[in-house]
Chain A
Amino acid sequence: MRNGCRRVVSFGIGLLTLPGCHQPDSAAPVVAVEATTSGDWFVEIAAASGLEFVHDRGATGRYYFPEIGGAGAALFDYDGDGDLDVYLVQGGALGPDRAAADRAGDRLFRNDLAAGVPRFVDVTAEAGIDARGYGVGAATADVDGDGDVDLYLTNFGRNQLLSNNGDGTFSDRTDESGTGEPRWSSSACFLDFDRDGRLDLYVANYTNFGFDNHKDCRSRTGNHDYCGPQSYEPEPDRLYRNLGDGRFADVSASSGIVSHYGAGLGVVSADFDGDAWPDLFVANDQMANFLWMNRHDGTFDEQGLLSGTALGADGSMEASMGVDAGDIDNDGDEDLFMTHLRAQTNTVYVNEGTGWFSDASYKTGLGGPSLDFTGFGALLFDYDGDGWLDVLAVNGAVSALEALERIGDPFPYHQTNQLFHNAGAGVFEEVSAGAGIAFDLSEAGRGAAAGDLDNDGDTDVVISNLSGPVRLLENRIGAAGGFAGLRWLAGAGGEAIGTRATVLRRDGLRLTRHVRTAASYASANDPRLRFGLGGTGGPVTLDVTTPARSRTRWSDVPAGAYLVGRGD
């Protein structure tokens, strides 16, 4: 439900307030959350809000592999005005004879939020953004510690680092930074792997497809169709260490990252074993996934197999696409959810607390319903504000679907998306049918980014479709039960990625969330944390542990507001 204006309080070392809002009430009204049986939970408002963008995959008829991958989206507050803006990654003309100038390029949309209603304006040109690579993904973080959010763009082709100048414009710092990875990259993730206070960069690379090694792949019926990852060689990922002076050092070899090659599509960083050092999970397409455990000395150890996250429960390799981490069972550790190819289940790996996982795909009820879908965007978020992380799978095929071909569909790759409700006991139920007509849309979904675009305390979603329009699903029910919000900033800079926050609700339920932006497929989420109170009301107790391991506890934190804190 829309509040018109969110409430914000500030605490900690730094203080931030958002314009036009009053100070918080000490306790938000308690609203019971009931299962909604009528009315749309999500309403699609992209075009109505000015978010007009259609992805162009640059289909040539040659079935070049990148044409089927699509692109992601990023939600971030580039102008520091307190609301989330939207960055949409674009494909465009593709082929050996096509140049960057042939492409329209990515778009940045500024959110001019007014009275709780998002209004988007295309500010790409005025922001000085010239991103005309064949785009795949976007990652966001304050790379240079100057307090504003920078952008890293992954491409089929050279990646780009766009540094936020703090005045509404960006400068291309790819060359100076040394992060212009030329391979086909998919997702990227900022993390402070060496805990030196500077955000480092992990780039997941895909395969060695090139126009000179393009293969002629066919569907089972002999039609031209897109190849799978096994038609090409996987590429090694990259790890860049932030040197703090605008430059990054490529430490892929010395960190051990290049010891394993995979066709990476998704990446997420989290402290999986609870040792206070950020680890990495890389979702690989039709290959074993990687779980890179941080060894605290600048190197990583690949533990996918023993951890139980490399393969499906039966030992088969799965085509992992998007991935998200989150505490789905509210036991304090980070679990994993990832989307897969049709005929494979989407997979949930439940953390046993030590970085070892159990495949709970069927047990949770998330496996079976996903068998007919190819999932890309993967999000764990609490859509109904009951305190339990739910699941959104954004779907779209990579091979032509015969049932659609039979009816002469000119783009036989589209599927509907799926929303699953977490019932709170480790069991999920698909609720797509009741979630609104937005879930009747059948499109070739790829990226998905979650964030509170109207600052009403619940989580909205931006979905990027392959060869289709972007969608903005505005959440209409998530804040009804009340929420506690948190934005945590590093001492001198922007979002303190890696911060862990725990809210103790009045009903005794403990919710643990982590500040991160990179997740899903090729996308970047709102870094703010929202704790659904499920009608239990405030105040709540909040416990924050920063990446530098300083820990602070507040009691009597009011509900219904984003609290803003700062500290290393």
Chain B
Amino acid sequence: MRLVAVGACLLSALAACDRPGDRSPAPGAVIEPRDERLEPVTPPDLASLEASARQAVERRQLFLRERLRAPEVSDADLGAAYGELGKAYHAFGYPASAVAPYRNALRLQPAEFRWPYYLAHVLREEGSSEALEMAQAARVKRPRYLAAILLEADLRFAGGETAAAEELYRSALAVDENCASAWAGLGRIAVERGETHAAVDAFEAALAASPEANSLHYPLALAYRRLGEIERATEHLARRGELVPGVLDPVLDEVVLGNSEAWAARGLNALRAGNPRPAARDLARAVALAPERHDIRLHLGAALARLGDLEGALAQYRTAAELEPGAATVHYNLGFVLGRLGRTEEALAALTRAVELDPTHKAARSTLGRRLTRSGRHEEALEQLDALLEIDPNHLSGRLWRSRALMGLGRHREALRAIEDHLALHPQEPFGRHVRARFLAICPDPALRDPAQALTEALALAGSEGTFEHLRTVAMAEAAGGDFAAAIDWQRRAIALAEQTGASGLEAEMAAELEAYAAGRTSARATW
């Protein structure tokens, strides 16, 4: 970012740039060209951008307008201003809008590598066949820039030009013989040609160059399968992941480099759209540029947690808590992830702190109530869950967790009432129906226990839902009704299904239940 160098006007408030009688155009107005070589630039609607991001883009628009109005501006200066605006559009997710300013920049600075290179990227995003032409133009300007060689190679491969693509991948290897992306490209070409041994060699070379690029285990596995080496294929399938080989691309990084807002916006949007991997990557870049921003760290923690990296998430949340100790959500997230890591006491402390900071924080109260229930601290759990239901009388799971706490306190009739209250509010909610079936199967109070009704409800759920927990409830109901043979059968099916679906953490509990049924006993510790 070189905005500092482009004139004092930019560094001051926009109003200060206005000369008397000189009204600046609205930010969305078309930026008309200076001469016939150039094309007009239509700014996109920036209304949905975060304020700081919007201002960043508008500053570049304004700067370009200033350059265009200035009496003597060199092509190089004007080209740079167009290019910077293109980068802003590009960085904040407007590739189609970036095309015109990049084109103008290229016309004004034809020797510059970046403009055709960036154009190739945005045109590819827009599905334009011109992307290849631009990629080639860029590569000619910098023939040893790996990322440009690979971009053109990939575009040629996608267009069916395998011979040209192969030549480019090989030229990439001439620059760096350990370029995993180039080896992977050669592997793909070999697969297309049916040259399976060559494919194996290329994918093996790619993995050797970049062992973390675990997505490559999949095409390698299929190549081994084609050779009849099923064992090796299976071995590689088990190791496959989602990481793709990459190549350093400082020129492309420059589009958003130094701009924490752009990285954060990209990451947050990816996270909201349910794509945690790119979200984590972009948010990590934003954190690197703005380590003091606790809000970005919170998002990064969420992305890492979605990826299963709980320790990584914990580190982000801890730092966020140091940066902003008064933010309830920071402590809630900290407590949530500590709970997932099994560090119960620390989780309870963090969640308690979140509730202290914000007594209306529903998620914190709910999670604290659940954690306390699971820890056997039923009285305290009830206190939290009652407070939760006061804040949100329709809370989806509050009454069910309350019923479990009441069960723990031996207040069975109240527990049943809590379940019934929940079902009155949410009659189709499957977890509530499941809890009632289980309650009827396991309630220690014989006046409330109803094995026959439990069995009916559990079978209905097992038919339509089919999770291992439902099968397990059927087993409990059968045991409560005295049919231990049936209970054993259902419990075995539940265990098998839990293994199939990868459900973990309940193996010992379920095995103990099976043992109890085999001994002609019901399970004393079952709950929900």
Interface residues of A, Cβ cutoff 8 Å to B: 178, 181-182, 212, 215-225, 227-232, 236, 250, 252-253, 256, 258-259, 261, 305-306, 308, 311, 313-317, 342-343, 345, 356, 358-360, 362-363, 365, 367-368, 371-373, 402-403, 405-406
Contacts of A362 in B (CB 8 A): 157-158, 160, 188, 192
Distance in angstroms between the alpha carbons of A229 and B467 in the assembled complex:
21
Contacts of A215 in B (CB 8 A): 272, 274
Cβ-closest chain A residue relative to B191? A313
Cβ-closest chain A residue relative to B95? A402
The reply to whether the CB of B501 lies closer than 8 angstroms to some CB of chain A is: yes
Contacts of B237 in A (CB 8 A): 305-306
Residues 49-60 of B, flagged 1 when their CB comes within 8 A of A and 0 if not, give: 110010000000
**Set A228, A258, A315: member contacting B273, Cβ < 8 A:** A228
Residues 313-343 of B, flagged 1 when their CB comes within 8 A of A and 0 if not, give: 0000000000000000000000000000000
Task: Give the segment of B68-76, B218-226, B413-421, B440-448 that binds chain A.
Answer: B218-226
**Set B44, B160, B191: member contacting A365, Cβ < 8 A:** B160
Contacts of A373 in B (CB 8 A): 127
Q: Find out whether the CB atom of B266 lies under 8 angstroms from the CB atom of A220.
A: yes
Distance in angstroms between the alpha carbons of A221 and B89 in the assembled complex:
9
Q: How far is the CB of A411 from chain B (nearest CB, A)?
A: 16
Q: How far is the CB of B262 from chain A (nearest CB, A)?
A: 10
Q: Find out whether the CB atom of B240 lies under 8 angstroms from the CB atom of A315.
A: yes
Q: How far is the CB of B115 from chain A (nearest CB, A)?
A: 20
Q: Find out whether the CB atom of B96 lies under 8 angstroms from the CB atom of A402.
A: yes
Contacts of B45 in A (CB 8 A): 405
**Set B125, B219, B266, B464: member contacting A313, Cβ < 8 A:** B219
Q: Find out whether the CB atom of A218 lies under 8 angstroms from the CB atom of B493.
A: no
Q: How far is the CB of A353 from chain B (nearest CB, A)?
A: 13
Q: Find out whether the CB atom of A314 lies under 8 angstroms from the CB atom of B215.
A: yes
Distance in angstroms between the alpha carbons of A143 and B458 in the assembled complex:
28
Can you list 9 A-B contacts with CB-CB less than 8 angstroms, sorted by A residue number?
Answer: A216-B272, A217-B274, A221-B94, A228-B274, A253-B497, A258-B467, A358-B226, A363-B192, A406-B97
Q: Find out whether the CB atom of B225 lies under 8 angstroms from the CB atom of A315.
A: no
Q: Find out whether the CB atom of B126 lies under 8 angstroms from the CB atom of A236.
A: no
Most-contacted residue by chain B among A178, A181, A362, A367 (CB, 10 A): A362
Contacts of B191 in A (CB 8 A): 313, 358-359
Cβ-closest chain A residue relative to B499? A259
Contacts of B94 in A (CB 8 A): 221, 402
Q: A253-B493, A305-B218, A308-B222 are in contact. List 6 more A-B contacts (CB 8 A).
A: A219-B93, A224-B48, A258-B497, A305-B240, A306-B225, A314-B188
Cβ-closest chain A residue relative to B270? A220
The reply to whether the CB of B233 lies closer than 8 angstroms to some CB of chain A is: yes
**Set B96, B157, B274: member contacting A230, Cβ < 8 A:** B274
Q: How far is the CB of A452 from chain B (nearest CB, A)?
A: 33
Q: Find out whether the CB atom of B126 lies under 8 angstroms from the CB atom of A372.
A: yes
Contacts of B269 in A (CB 8 A): 218-220, 222
Contacts of A305 in B (CB 8 A): 218, 221, 237, 240
Distance in angstroms between the alpha carbons of A178 and B129 in the assembled complex:
52
Q: Find out whether the CB atom of B44 lies under 8 angstroms from the CB atom of A405.
A: yes
Q: Find out whether the CB atom of A367 lies under 8 angstroms from the CB atom of B225.
A: no
Distance in angstroms between the alpha carbons of A223 and B273 in the assembled complex:
12
**Set B42, B49, B268: member contacting A406, Cβ < 8 A:** B42
Cβ-closest chain B residue relative to A252? B466
Q: Find out whether the CB atom of B218 lies under 8 angstroms from the CB atom of A315.
A: yes
The reply to whether the CB of B216 lies closer than 8 angstroms to some CB of chain A is: yes
Contacts of A228 in B (CB 8 A): 273-275
Q: How far is the CB of A37 from chain B (nearest CB, A)?
A: 23
Q: Find out whether the CB atom of A306 lies under 8 angstroms from the CB atom of B273.
A: no
Q: How far is the CB of B296 from chain A (nearest CB, A)?
A: 15
Q: Find out whether the CB atom of B93 lies under 8 angstroms from the CB atom of A313.
A: no
**Set A222, A261, A342, A360: member contacting B49, Cβ < 8 A:** A222
The reply to whether the CB of B234 lies closer than 8 angstroms to some CB of chain A is: yes
Q: Find out whether the CB atom of A314 lies under 8 angstroms from the CB atom of B244.
A: yes
Cβ-closest chain B residue relative to A404? B96
With A253-B497, A313-B219 already in contact, the answer to whether A222 and B157 are too (CB < 8 A) is: no
Q: How far is the CB of A220 from chain B (nearest CB, A)?
A: 3
B366-420 at interface with A (beta carbon < 8 Å): 396
Contacts of A258 in B (CB 8 A): 466-467, 497, 500-501
With A218-B272, A220-B92, A230-B275 already in contact, the answer to whether A403 and B218 are too (CB < 8 A) is: no
Q: How far is the CB of B131 from chain A (nearest CB, A)?
A: 10
Contacts of A356 in B (CB 8 A): 225
Q: How far is the CB of B93 from chain A (nearest CB, A)?
A: 3
Q: Find out whether the CB atom of B92 lies under 8 angstroms from the CB atom of A306.
A: no
